[in-house]
Amino acid sequence: MLIIKDIYNLHTYLNAYKDKGYSIGYIPTMGALHDGHGSLIEKSHNDNQKTIVSIFINEKQFNDTKDFEAYPRNKGDDYNFCEKHNIDIIFEPNTEEIYPEEYKSIQNSHFQNILCDQYRPGHFDGVVTVLNRLFSIIESDKVYFGEKDFQQLKIVEKLIKENFPNQKLVPVSTVRSDEGIALSSRNSKLSKQQMKDFILFQKEVIQFIASLDKMLDLIEANKKAEEFIKSYENFDYFEFRNASNLSLEGSLEDARLFYAIHKSGIRLIDNLET
Ligand code: AMP
């Protein structure tokens, strides 16, 4: 396994792969790797001869400095994790490598003012800026993204369609703990009690979804969601949206439930099939 920090060296190896006709799968991450990332990696191994993971905590996508500083970092563990998962290359650039002085940010123009975009202004501008850069550097055949970050997945779909038509986007289902919690790097920041409360909440959410008629109109379903969430605290959003265009149109059977919850300064997101 190679750990490469600079674009020049990265290109040397990637060009050698491309000369040999190997297909390359790429998984962008912010580190603190877990089995959710592992699932993306395994999918890439199935589809490609070479798999590359990038680890870059992109400050531009944190609209809150405290959140950036508190983001989990565990370098050594990440290297071991990648070794265990037979990664060919870890690309771990520094900020100067990704954002040279002349590099201009780009702006997201899709799925705006809803869900995470409403509560984290500028977040998706940071996401598309870094991905635009990373995709241009790596030029992989396929990129792997988790459904865990569903709005991000939708925005990346647009970015690829517009700027990287030769790169295929592969969505991967959310990996969950036995209790139903979506695996997330941020989960490591929860205390035992907070995790217990979160598991209980998640169970209640799943029961709530199961109790609804699948033919229910989303406007009606969201009235019920509003009622359900009244007894819980610290939510940015908790609502059903159409899974294909994130609108409020259609019925529950075409929707997912999206939520963002704060637990003592830690922001957790998930989306659940109905
Ligand atoms: P992150 O390191 O959090 O930026 O995530 C990197 C990639 O892993 C993104 O495409 C995420 O959607 C994906 N991911 C994170 N958690 C999970 C999970 N529990 N299941 C599947 N994919 C995930």
Tell me, yes or no, if the pTM score tops 0.85.
yes
3-state class (DSSP) for residue 46? helix
CB 224 within 8 A of CB 206: no
CA of 147 from ligand 1 middle (Å) equals 8
User: Pocket around ligand 1: residues whose beta carbon is below 6 Å from it?
Assistant: 29-30, 36-37, 39-40, 145-146, 148-149, 172, 174-175, 182-185
In the 8-state DSSP scheme, what is residue 182? B
CA distance 124 to 152: 7
Determine which residue's CA is closest to atom 17 belonging to ligand 1: 36
The two three-digit tokens of residue 89, written as one number = 């290359």
Residue in 34, 37, 85, 123 annotated catalytic: 37
CB 209 within 8 A of CB 274: yes
CB 137 within 8 A of CB 120: no
pLDDT band at residue 248 under the 50/70/90 scheme: very high
CA of 95 from ligand 1 middle (Å) equals 21
Is residue 120 over pLDDT 90? yes
CA distance 243 to 271: 10
Mutate which of 37, 73, 258 to test ligand 1's pocket (most atoms within 8 Å of Cβ)?
Answer: 37
CA distance 210 to 220: 15
CA distance 190 to 92: 27
CB 247 within 8 A of CB 262: no
CA distance 172 to 58: 22
Bridge partners of residue 78, in order along the sequence: none
Determine which residue's CA is closest to atom 11 belonging to ligand 1: 146
CA of 243 from ligand 1 middle (Å) equals 18
CA distance 214 to 211: 9
- Residue range 27-85, pLDDT digits in tens: 999 999 999 999 999 999 999 999 999 999 999 999 889 889 999 999 899 999 999 99
Determine which residue's CA is closest to atom 14 belonging to ligand 1: 146
* 34 is annotated as an active-site residue: no
- Residue range 59-68, pLDDT digits in tens: 999 988 988 9
pLDDT band at residue 265 under the 50/70/90 scheme: confident
CA angle 225, 176, 120 (to 5 degrees): 55
